[in-house]
């Protein structure tokens, strides 16, 4: 158990809908990262938050947004969902922004029908 908690584990929804994925980092970790794992794109970095502030953006679509709350949990919001958004979404956490080791949650599997 990495200590990173993601909910829900599975999410099934329809095209055009909006969903929210939640991540609780390891106790004491200030950094949260979001990654997308899909069959065609592999594992791709989406966004990084440190202590409530956005620090880096990767290949994140404009339809997607994230935030980190004062209690350090994070949410990834996906809107106007398309079939191609179906993927496994991982959250990872680390102690500091410059910490190299990231610990991953079990992921949320999103299926868009």
In the complex, the residues that contact other proteins under the rule CB under 8 A are 2, 4, 33, 35, 42-45, 48, 55-56, 58, 90, 92, 97, 100-107
φ/ψ bin of 80: left (φ > 0), alpha (ψ from -120 to 50), beta (otherwise):
left
Q: Which is nearer to other proteins, 17 or 47 (CB)?
A: 47
Q: Which is nearer to other proteins, 57 or 63 (CB)?
A: 57
Q: Give me the DSSP letters along 33-76.
A: EEEEEETTTEEEEEEEEETTEEEEE-S--TTEEEEE-TTS-EEE
Least CB distance from residue 22 to other proteins, whole Å? 15
Least CB distance from residue 13 to other proteins, whole Å? 21
């Amino acid at each position: 158990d990495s200590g990173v908690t993601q909910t829900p584990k599975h999410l099934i929804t329809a095209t055009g809908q909006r969903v929210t994925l939640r991540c609780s980092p390891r106790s004491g970790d200030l950094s949260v990262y979001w990654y997308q794992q899909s069959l065609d794109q592999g594992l791709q970095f989406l966004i990084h938050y440190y202590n409530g502030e956005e620090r880096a953006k990767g290949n994140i679509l404009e339809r997607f947004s994230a935030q980190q709350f004062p209690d350090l949990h994070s949410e990834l919001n996906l809107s106007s969902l398309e079939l191609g958004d179906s993927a496994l979404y991982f959250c990872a956490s680390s102690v500091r922004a410059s910490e190299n080791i990231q610990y991953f949650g079990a992921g949320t599997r999103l299926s868009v029908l």
